[in-house]
C-alpha cells in the first residue's frame, strides 16, 4: 500500500516535492535539539495549497497519519512524526496580499516570522510577535502552537494576531477564513480554534495577520528590587501610569543575572552588585524618546520614594537601551553554558507570582538540593519560566536523566497547579507534555477537546499523539 501511496504523492508533488531517502528525511524526523527521533514514510513539500490538500487527502485516504511541520523549532516534540507522512511547508512561503490600509497581511503558512516582520515594516507597520527562533519559525507553526513572547500582555499571543486562517482538513477539504475582518459574528470562531491546535484539527496553509502601528519613541529602564512583591507593585504602578504603551516588563532573578555575567561576553551590570530581582522595562509609544524617558523618570521617582526599588537606571540613549535588552536576551545562551537547566513554562495570575516562586523554591530546596533556581519571567502576563539549574557534574551523576527531568517538571507543575496556574504557557504540549495533560487538566475539558477533535477528524489522523492524551 505504501508504494501505491508514494506513487500517488509523486504524481501530486513531483520529484522536488517528495523526499523518501532516509538521509533526506532525517532532518524532518528529529527535533532541532536532537532529543527525539521519529519515523516517516516520506516528507511532502507542497508548493501550493492544492498540492497540500491533495497530499492530505491521499495520505488520510490511505489510512495513514499526517504530521504537519513548520520550521521544526518547537521545544515539545510536536512535529516529530511516527509512521506516516510529514508535510513541511517551506515551499509554501509566498506573501499573498498586503493591505496597509486595513493593517493586514495575507501569507502562506511557510513564511518565516522574520520575513513577516520585514513585510510589515515595508508597509510602515509592525507585526509585534518576537521570539528567539524567528528566523526559522514559520507562521503555520507559530499559529499551531499559539506562540507567545514578551509582548503578549500588550499585543496578545499568536491567536490574537491572526484575523483568520486557511486550513486543510483531515479529509482534504480546504476551509478558508481569509476575509481578515476585525468584527465578524457569523458563527463560532473556527479560525481561533486552529490556533494552538498543534495540527490536530487540520493543516494550516495560510493566514491573515493583524499588523499594528509602529512606535516611534522608546524608553528603557532597569530596576533593582529585593522581592517579587516589590517587582509586582512597581510593574503595576508603571502600567497605571503608562497604560497601553508598556511594551515589556521582564523579570529575572540574581542567579540568572550572574549566569549572564559569567558566560556571555559583552554584558555588564549597571549596579554595584546583582540585585535579588531585576525588572527590565520598555515603554514604546509616540512622541520623542526624551519625553518618554522623562515621563518614566518621574514615575520611577515616585516608586523610589515609596521604598519599592533599591536602585534603578533609565537608559539615556539607544545604546544603553540596547544593552539592557542584550542582557535580557542572553539568558538562554548563559543557561546552556552554566549547567543543565530544566526550564518550566509555567504561568499563574500575576498576583500569584510571589507565592508561586516561594513555594517552588521550597520544593526545589527540599527535593533538588543539588540545584539552584533561576527565573526568567514575563511578569505582566504571569508567565514564569522557573528554571531548576543543575551543575553539569551533578546532572551527569543521575542514572536516568530523562526521569529526573520529568521528576522536576512534575514537581514544579504541581506547585503551579496549587496556585491556579498552568504548566504550559507558551511552549505548547506537543508529545512531551501529553501525560501532564492527563494528570493535571480537568477530565471534562479533555473530554470536550476529544469530542471536538473527533468532530473535525473522526479517524484521528491529523498529528496523532500530539496535544491530547490518548
Nearer to its own copies, 17 or 465 (CB): 465
Question: Taking the complex as a whole, how short is the minimal distance between the CB of residue 82 and its own copies, in angstroms?
Answer: 21
Inter-CA distances, 254 with 62, 273, 331, 355, 392, Å: 55, 9, 12, 18, 20
Cell triple for residue 154? 500588550
CA distance 239 to 382: 14
CA distance 130 to 73: 14
Question: Taking the complex as a whole, how short is the minimal distance between the CB of residue 156 and its own copies, in angstroms?
Answer: 8
Question: Which residues are within 8 A (CB) of 275 and not within 5 positions of it... i.e. 6 or more apart?
Answer: 224, 225, 226, 254, 257, 310, 311
Nearer to its own copies, 29 or 161 (CB): 161
> Are the CB atoms for 61 and 4 separated by under 8 Å?
no
131 CB neighbour count, 10 Å cutoff: 14
Question: Taking the complex as a whole, how short is the minimal distance between the CB of residue 227 and its own copies, in angstroms?
Answer: 14
Residue 329's φ and ψ, nearest 5 degrees, are: -80, 0
Nearer to its own copies, 201 or 274 (CB): 201
Question: Taking the complex as a whole, how short is the minimal distance between the CB of residue 99 and its own copies, in angstroms?
Answer: 5
DSSP assignments along 308-330, one per residue: --SEEEE-SSHHHHHHHHHHHHT
Buried residues in 278-289 as b, exposed as e (16+ CB within 10 A): bbbbbbbbeeeb
Nearer to its own copies, 182 or 319 (CB): 182
Which residues on neighbouring strands pair with residue 108, listed in sequence order?
206
Question: Taking the complex as a whole, how short is the minimal distance between the CB of residue 49 and its own copies, in angstroms?
Answer: 14
DSSP summary character for residue 138: B
Nearer to its own copies, 188 or 470 (CB): 188
Nearer to its own copies, 393 or 442 (CB): 442
DSSP summary character for residue 461: -
Question: Taking the complex as a whole, how short is the minimal distance between the CB of residue 176 and its own copies, in angstroms?
Answer: 7
Nearer to its own copies, 36 or 237 (CB): 237
CA distance 168 to 32: 25
Question: Taking the complex as a whole, how short is the minimal distance between the CB of residue 429 and its own copies, in angstroms?
Answer: 7
Question: Taking the complex as a whole, how short is the minimal distance between the CB of residue 441 and its own copies, in angstroms?
Answer: 5
Question: Taking the complex as a whole, how short is the minimal distance between the CB of residue 226 and its own copies, in angstroms?
Answer: 18
Residue 79's φ and ψ, nearest 5 degrees, are: -110, 10
Nearer to its own copies, 319 or 451 (CB): 451
Question: Taking the complex as a whole, how short is the minimal distance between the CB of residue 93 and its own copies, in angstroms?
Answer: 24
> Are the CB atoms for 333 and 261 separated by under 8 Å?
no
| Helix/strand/coil percent split, the chain, to 5 | 40, 25, 35
Cell triple for residue 444? 471534562
Inter-CA distances, 209 with 86, 168, 172, 385, 444, Å: 25, 18, 24, 27, 32
Nearer to its own copies, 243 or 266 (CB): 243
Nearer to its own copies, 17 or 128 (CB): 128
Cα within 13 Å of Cα(89), Cβ side: 38
> Are the CB atoms for 327 and 258 separated by under 8 Å?
no
Inter-CA distances, 284 with 223, 242, 247, Å: 17, 10, 6
> Are the CB atoms for 6 and 41 separated by under 8 Å?
yes
Nearer to its own copies, 229 or 405 (CB): 229
Q: What angle do CA 451, 79, 422 make, to 5 degrees?
A: 60
Question: Taking the complex as a whole, how short is the minimal distance between the CB of residue 215 and its own copies, in angstroms?
Answer: 5
CA distance 456 to 462: 10
Cell triple for residue 338? 552554566
Nearer to its own copies, 3 or 188 (CB): 188
Question: Taking the complex as a whole, how short is the minimal distance between the CB of residue 383 and its own copies, in angstroms?
Answer: 5
Amino acid at each position: 500500500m505504501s508504494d501505491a501511496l508514494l506513487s500517488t504523492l509523486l504524481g501530486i508533488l513531483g520529484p522536488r516535492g517528495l523526499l523518501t531517502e532516509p538521509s533526506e528525511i532525517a532532518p524532518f524526523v528529529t527535533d532541532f535539539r536532537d532529543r527525539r527521533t521519529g519515523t516517516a514514510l516520506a516528507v511532502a513539500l507542497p508548493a501550493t495549497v492544492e498540492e497540500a490538500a491533495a497530499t492530505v487527502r491521499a495520505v488520510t485516504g490511505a489510512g495513514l497519519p499526517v504530521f504537519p511541520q513548520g520550521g521544526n523549532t518547537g521545544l515539545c516534540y510536536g512535529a516529530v512524526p511516527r509512521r506516516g507522512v510529514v508535510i513541511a511547508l517551506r515551499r509554501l512561503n509566498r506573501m499573498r496580499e498586503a493591505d496597509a490600509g486595513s493593517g493586514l497581511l495575507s501569507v502562506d503558512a511557510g513564511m518565516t516570522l522574520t520575513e513577516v516582520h520585514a513585510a510589515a515594516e515595508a508597509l510602515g507597520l509592525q507585526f509585534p510577535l518576537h521570539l528567539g527562533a524567528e528566523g526559522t519559525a514559520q507562521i503555520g507553526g507559530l499559529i499551531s502552537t499559539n506562540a507567545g513572547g514578551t509582548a503578549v500582555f500588550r499585543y496578545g499571543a499568536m491567536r490574537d494576531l491572526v484575523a483568520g486562517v486557511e486550513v486543510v482538513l483531515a479529509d482534504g477539504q480546504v476551509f478558508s477564513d481569509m476575509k481578515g475582518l476585525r468584527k465578524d459574528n457569523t458563527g463560532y470562531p473556527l479560525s481561533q480554534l486552529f490556533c494552538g491546535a498543534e495540527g490536530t484539527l487540520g493543516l494550516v496553509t495560510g493566514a491573515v495577520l493583524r499588523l499594528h502601528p509602529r512606535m516611534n519613541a522608546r524608553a528603557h529602564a532597569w530596576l533593582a528590587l529585593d522581592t517579587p512583591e516589590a517587582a509586582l507593585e512597581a510593574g503595576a504602578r508603571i502600567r497605571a501610569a503608562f497604560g497601553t504603551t508598556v511594551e515589556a516588563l521582564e523579570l529575572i532573578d540574581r542567579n540568572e543575572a550572574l549566569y549572564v555575567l559569567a558566560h556571555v561576553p559583552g554584558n555588564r551590570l549597571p549596579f554595584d552588585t546583582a540585585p535579588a530581582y531585576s525588572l527590565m522595562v520598555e515603554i514604546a509609544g509616540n512622541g520623542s524618546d526624551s519625553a518618554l524617558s522623562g515621563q518614566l523618570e518621574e514615575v520611577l521617582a515616585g516608586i523610589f520614594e515609596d521604598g519599592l526599588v533599591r536602585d534603578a537606571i533609565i537608559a539615556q540613549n539607544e545604546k544603553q537601551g540596547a544593552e539592557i535588552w542584550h542582557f535580557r536576551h542572553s539568558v538562554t545562551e548563559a543557561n546552556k553554558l552554566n549547567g543543565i537547566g530544566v526550564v518550566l513554562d509555567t504561568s499563574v495570575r500575576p498576583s500569584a507570582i510571589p507565592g508561586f516562586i516561594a513555594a517552588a523554591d521550597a520544593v526545589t530546596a527540599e527535593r533538588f538540593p543539588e540545584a539552584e533556581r533561576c527565573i526568567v519571567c514575563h511578569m505582566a502576563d504571569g508567565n514564569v519560566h522557573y528554571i531548576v539549574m543543575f551543575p553539569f557534574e551533578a546532572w551527569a551523576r543521575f542514572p536516568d536523566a530523562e526521569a529526573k527531568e520529568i521528576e522536576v517538571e512534575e514537581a514544579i507543575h504541581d506547585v503551579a497547579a496549587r496556585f491556579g496556574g498552568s504548566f504550559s504557557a507558551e511552549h505548547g504540549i506537543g508529545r512531551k507534555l501529553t501525560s501532564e495533560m492527563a494528570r493535571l487538566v480537568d477530565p471534562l475539558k479533555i473530554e470536550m477537546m476529544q469530542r471536538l477533535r473527533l468532530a473535525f477528524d473522526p479517524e484521528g489522523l491529523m498529528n496523532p499523539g500530539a496535544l491530547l492524551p490518548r
